[in-house]
Every structure is written in structure tokens, then in C-alpha cells.
Amino acid sequence: MGIEWAWLLPALCGGAFASILFLGRYTPLRGAPIAIASIATCFALFWFFMSDVVTDGGRSFERFWFEAGDISISLGMTIDELALVMIGLVTTVSLAVQIYSLGYMRGDPRFGWFFAMMSLFAASMLGLVLVDNLLVFYVLWELIGLCSYLLIGFYSERRSAAEAAKKAFIVTRIGDVALLIGILVLFTATGTFEMSEIFAQADAGEISKSNLNLSAALIFIGIAGKAAQFPFHVWLPDAMEGPSPVSALIHAATLVVAGIYFLARLSPMLVHTPGVLDSVAAVGLVTAFVGAFLALTQNDLKRVLAYSTMSQLGLMVLAMGSLSFGAGIFHLLTHGFFKALLFLGAGTVMHAMNGELDMRKMGGLRRVMPITYVLFLLGSFSLIGLFPMSGFFSKDEILVGVLDERNGWLVAAGLAASGMTALYVVRMVLMVFLGESRSEEARNAHEATPTMLAPMAALGLPTVGLGVLALNWGNFGGFAEFLHLPPGGSHEYKIVPEIFWPSLVISYGLLILGWRMYYRRSRLTPSIVESRYPRLYAFAANKFYLDDLYQWIVNNVVLVVSRSIALFDQRVVNDKGVDGPGKFTAFVGRTLRYHETGVIGTYILTIAVTATLAILIMVAVN
Amino acid sequence: MIGLEHILVVSSILFSLGVFGVLARRNAIMILLALELMLNAVNINLIAFAVYLDPDLIVGIIFAIFVTTVAAAEVGLAMAFILRLYRSRSSVNVDEVNLMRW
């Protein structure tokens, strides 16, 4: 089964979506088996495709689509190592999450619709990583945004969920506008939507520097929206209103990384825009910090994970901005697995706690849900980047790349962010699983069903083991080598002592520090921080007041402008423009109708007078 | 002798009397009469032209026959209207027929 069949992946899932929509009610379990069957098939196909790519390398396929004037737009499919990695990630995590959802979402009245949307999302995401055409890419990009909106607002009866879905869609939409303009700038500069064409033109120097930089900057703004970079990150914590499987799949492993993938995909072009990449790295670093900082102050389990995702995405973006595209994608891969695992674990905890997510009400869950505890611990260790988990290798690769391309200060900053990661992760694990149970629900909690535990365990394997992909042994030159993204040069994994040891020390060290802080109630407890620095604490707890700032902007700028435009539309366009001719016609009619007196005498008089006048004029003219 | 202009003056006097009648009469039948007067005046005009200007070319006289025919048909039609009007309102006063007004 060669990779020319890759179009089957989105087609199968799209077909599953349609089938569940129309035939769901006639099938047992409301169509969920259709979704799972399709994603399992995709998963199987992935392995075939992988063997094909590993032996023969990546290829592109193209099909002519349509012509408009002298612009011909064609639809192409590119399956190279990068696409393959993404396909693997999406199919694996989707499969795990969908099986998990069988247990988690059981009993929900919209069970079938959930799986339909999951299939639609899988189809869009798989299509996204396959296409070669920027226009189709944009359409699919919007489609995954739509699925995210629908799935965040899944519990539509809840006001907070509906608001969160709206917020997610609007914030990412702002980015999407920039993305579209960036794509169009590229199109006007090159005359084509095809990425391979554009890269060739860029390499040959046929695109002007200003065009390249402008489009790269705009595209990055679009990516920043979806990838929850600062300051577009505000939608991600609220997106936790959606069901936990949704958070695991979409807001940890796939949708938020679509932008990171796009950066890697555009790497042949981005090597020509170093200025933009500087900003990219800066944004990534800031995001990594802000995310980790805010994660430290949250009391809601899923929100800690959301900010954690934001922080890790910042790291990936930092890698991309430091020309370490391979390292960034590797972290994308490992993060996808361990973050999905963590979110599924959070879902299990939430299920067991009867929907309660406040960590202050948890505690001691280790005793009642041991398997979840162990798996969650594995994910947490990978998140912190403890050796020998996969997270360690990917984070290390990023830092090595940053050291290579940029300077040591950024590496130090990255290490600091990793340190903060350790702190908030320890706090999270401690509050949830260890210590004494702090509420009724925590005491009555139960372990999850096998349907939910099995996928989590499945995700645990790559969490622990995927690190080996970074190394090079035998024919395999290491992950970055495998992807062979620009700027080329061998990025084989090397153990850089300047990074390896500090990273090790910091991760283990802060693990212990966090333990002491939060468990042993040493002098640095959060409540003490709160009382000593109330304003700083409030600043962090209110998420830097960014939400309030944005709301203020919406109220005083956006709504004011839209109100005045609405007024203009009402008073001028509608009342004058549309009603105007009608009213004028009526006015004319009302005035002229007096001419119909109904009295025959006037009519005849008019005729006589007019006839006489006409004759006189004719005579006078002649 | 009697020249063309004399006959034309006569016909124009008759025509004006007819116009006056159409404009000033209230009774529908009187308006019809005045109308007939106008048509007759026109006929006189036509025949005068025919006789005085070109006796061989009798176009004017043939036209006058047409006019007379049309006048007759029209009177028939108009009488039908007036009879209808009288039957529904018991009056032929045209000043009262003003329902088709604004």
C-alpha cells in the first residue's frame, strides 16, 4: 500500500463523519464504532505508509484542479517524513482518545455527534498535513478551528462553554485573517499557491525580501493565534470547558500544533527570513515563560495543563525560531503523547471526582486510582523533562539547537522555564494524588474503567520510550536527520555537556524543591507568597489581567466601532438608500394623484387646451 | 363670390360651438350632440377643401364619408354607455360621474 493512497486517510474519516451524521441513529452505539473503525484503519495505513517512506523516501503527487483566467490552481499531496510523523501522531492519539471517549462520554445524549465531530476533525487534520496547496491548507485550517469551536462548546447548555467556544473561535480568527493575507501576499508575489513552487522561487531569489518577510510575519501571526502564543493565548485555558478527550486531542496534541507543523513545512522559505525568525523565537520564549508562570497559580487541574501546553508550545516555537525545525517537531511529537496522556488522566480524575476539577478539593487519589497515578506520573516526568523520558530528549534537542543558532542567554532562559515547569508539575501531582483527601468526593473516588485506562497506557509507551528516536544507531541518523528539514547540516543528537548537566540538575533539583515547598510546607508556601506580595499574586492569579484588557478593548473599541457602523447602516443605507426610492415614489404618487379628478369635464378641457397649444406651436414653428 | 375662406370660417365657428358644448354641458346626451357638431364642422372643412382646391381629386370627399361613418359608429357606442349610466344612476349628469378619482 504505497503512499499514493494517502488521500484515503482524510477521505475515510470524512466518510465516517458523513455516515455517522446520517446513519448514526441506525447503528449501535450511535455510530461510534464507525468513527473508531475509520481511525483504526488510518492508524494501520500509517504503518504501511511509514515502511514506504522509510524505504523509498517522500514523494509528491499532483492533480490539476481548475483554471481561472491565466491562474491555474492545482491540488497536490506531499507525503514526506514530516507529513508521515504528523500522520502518525494524529492517528495514534485520535485512536487512543476515541477509545477513551467510549468510556468517558458514555451516557451523553449527544454521543453520536461527538464521534462525528471527532471524525471530522481527524479528516481535516490529516488533510492539512498532506496538502501542498496553500489555499486548501487554509480551508482545512479553518475547518479544524470549526471543529474546535463545536467541540469546546459541546456542553452547549453551559453558558461558560458557549462563551469559551466563542472566545476560541474569535481569537484564532484574528490570527486567521493575518494568515490569509500572508498567503495572498505570497500568491501575488509568486503567482501560485503551491508550496513546492514557492520554495523553488524563494531559493532562486525570485521573491523580493520585503514580500518574503511580510508574508512570513503575517503567517506567523496566524500561527500564533492557533498555537496559543502570547498574547493570543487567552482562549486556551477557557477551552478546557470542553470534554477532556477533546482537550487531550485538540488542545494538546493536534490542533495547537498545526501551526508548528506549518512552520516546519515552510522551513525552506523561512531560512530566507532571519529577521522574522528572531521575532518568532522571542514570542516563543515569552510564551514559554508566561505559560509556566501562570500554570503555577492555577487551582483548576485542566487549566494547569492548559497553561503547561501553552508553555511547551512556546518552547516549540522557540525551536522553530532558532532554525531547529527538526528539534521542534520532535518535541511536538513527544509532547503530543505525554500531554494527551496527562489530559486523559485529568479526565479520569474529573470523572472519579464527579466533575470536580478544583485541586484544592482533591488529594490522596493515589490510593484509590493507582494505575492512573502511575501513568500520570510518567507523563509528568516526561513533561518536566526528566531523564530518561522522551520529554527529556526532545527538550534537550531544542536547547542544543538554540545554543547552536543563538546564544547561551536564551538557553539559560529556556532552562529557567523548564525549572518552572518542574515546580508547577510537582505542585499539581502533589495536590491531586498525594497527601490527604481533602473532600468527600476525593474519598469516594474510584479507578477508571479499562476502556479508559487502556488508551492511557498505550500513550504511556511512547511517553517513556520515544526518546530513543533522537539518537542515531545503525542506519537511522536520529530524528532530525530523518526529517531532513532545512537548513540542513547534521543535527544529529549530541550530548552537549553545557546543556545536559544543567538540564538534569535543574529538572531533578526543582523536583525536590517543589516537593519540599508543597509537601513539607516549608517557608515558601504559596499562601505565604500571597500574603507577602498580594499585588503580584493577584496579578498572576488574574492571568496578568489580559482577559480584562481584551474585554475592555472589545467593549470600548470594537463594540463602539461596530455600533457606529450599525447606526450608519441603519440610518443612511437602510432608511435613506433602501427606503428612500420607495418613499420618494410614494411621495410622487401622492402628489400626482390629484390629477385624476374623475370629473370628465376636466379631462376634456385638458385635451382641448393641449391640442390647441400643440397646433399653435406647430404653426409657429413653421 | 363665396370663397374658401368663408366656408372655413363657418366650419370653425361650428367647431368652436361644438367644443364649447362638450366642455360646458352637464347632460351626457348634450355632450354627444356637441361632439357630433364638431365632427360635422370637420366634414364641412374637408369637403370645402375638396371642392375648391382640386375638384378632380375627390380624396377630401372620400375622407368625409369615412368621418361620417366613424361618427355614426361612435354615437352608437356612446349611447350604449349613456344608457348603462342612466340605468345605474337614473341620471346622465356627467358632473356626478367622479368615482374613478384619487
Dist. CA A362–CA A439, nearest whole Å: 7
Given CB atoms, is A44 within the 8 Å cutoff of chain B? no
Domain membership flag for residue A411 = yes
pTM for the whole structure: 0.78
- Asked if A608 reaches chain B (Cβ–Cβ under 8 Å), the answer is yes
Predicted confidence band of residue A341 (pLDDT cuts 50, 70, 90): very high
- The pLDDT confidence band at residue A575, using thresholds 50, 70 and 90, is confident
Tell me: do A348 and A485 sit in the same domain: yes
Q: How many domains does chain A have?
A: 2
- Mean pLDDT confidence for A514-538: 62
The CB density around residue B100, as the number of other CB atoms within 10 Å, is 10
* 3-state DSSP assignment of residue B79: helix
Domain ranges, residue A603: 547-621
Residues 565-604 of A with CB under 8 A from B: 593-594, 596-601, 604
Please work out, in degrees rounded to the nearest 5, the angle formed at the alpha carbon of residue A350 by the alpha carbons of A349 and A354: 115
Residues A372 and A497 occupy one common structural domain: yes
| A531 and A577 housed in the same domain | no
A160 found inside a domain: no
Give domain status of residue A11, yes or no. Answer: no
Interface contact B97, partner A, CB < 8 A:
yes
* A71 belongs to a structural domain: no
Work out whether the CA dihedral B50, B52, B53, B55 comes out positive or negative.
Answer: positive
Q: What is the mean pLDDT of residues A14-35?
A: 84
Question: Which chain A residues are Cβ-neighbours of B22 within 8 angstroms?
Answer: 604, 608
Q: Based on the domain organization, do A564 and A516 belong to the same domain?
A: no
The Cα–Cα gap between A97 and A584 comes to 64
Give chain B's domains with CATH numbers.
4-91 (1.10.287.3510)
Query: Is residue A613 within 8 angstroms of chain B, CB to CB?
Result: no
Of A541, A566, A598, the domain-final residue: A541
Specify whether A431 is located in the same domain as A530. yes
d(CA A310, CA A389): 20
CB A37 within 8 A of CB A93: no
β-pairing verdict for A71-79 and A59-68: antiparallel
Q: Are residues A557 and A528 in the same domain?
A: no
Minimal Cα distance from A596: which residue of B?
B101
How far is Cα B82 from Cα B91, in angstroms, rounded to an integer? 9
Per-residue pLDDT band at A109 (split at 50, 70, 90)? confident
pLDDT higher than threshold 80 for residue A541: no
Q: Are residues A478 and A583 in the same domain?
A: no
Residue A620 has pLDDT above 60, yes or no: yes
A523 against A64, higher pLDDT: A64
Give the mean pLDDT of A20-32: 81
User: In residues, how long is chain B?
Assistant: 102
pLDDT bracket for residue A523 (50, 70, 90): very low
| pLDDT value at A414 more than 80 | yes
Q: What is the pLDDT of residue A363?
A: 76
CA atoms of A37 and A40, how far apart (whole Å)? 5
Domain C-terminal end among A521, A541, A561: A541
A456 and A559: one domain? no
d(CA A493, CA A466): 14
Residues A397 and A515 in one domain: yes
Q: What is the structure's pLDDT at A178?
A: 94
Does any domain span residue A480?
yes
- Residues of chain A neighbouring B95 (CB-CB closer than 8 A): 599, 601
Mean pLDDT of A147-160: 90
Assess if residue A446 is contained within a domain: yes
Write the ipTM.
0.81
| Over residues A532-556, mean pLDDT | 77
**A194 lies in some domain:** no
Residue A461 is predicted with a pLDDT of 84
Cα of first residue to Cα of last residue in chain B, in angstroms, is 56
- Mean pLDDT within A239-247: 89
Q: Does A592 fall in a domain?
A: yes
Domain boundary among A475, A507, A541: A541
Same domain, A464 and A553: no
Q: How many contacts does A have with B, using Cβ atoms within 8 A?
A: 30
Residues A372, A495 within the same domain: yes
**Which one has a higher pLDDT value, B75 or A431?**
B75
Q: Which residues pair with A74 in a beta bridge?
A: A64
Burial class, A530, CB count within 10 angstroms (exposed 0-12 / middle 13-18 / buried 19+)? middle
Q: Which residue has the higher pLDDT, A39 or A482?
A: A39
Same domain, yes or no: A444 and A568: no
The answer to whether A275 touches A210, Cβ cutoff 8 Å, is: no
More confident site: A510 or A182: A182
Q: Report the residue from A596, A605, A608 with minimal CB separation from B102.
A: A596
Q: Is B78 on the interface with A (CB under 8 A)?
A: no
Banded model confidence at residue A586, pLDDT cuts 50, 70, 90: very high
Residues paired with residue A476 on neighbouring β-strands, in sequence order: A473
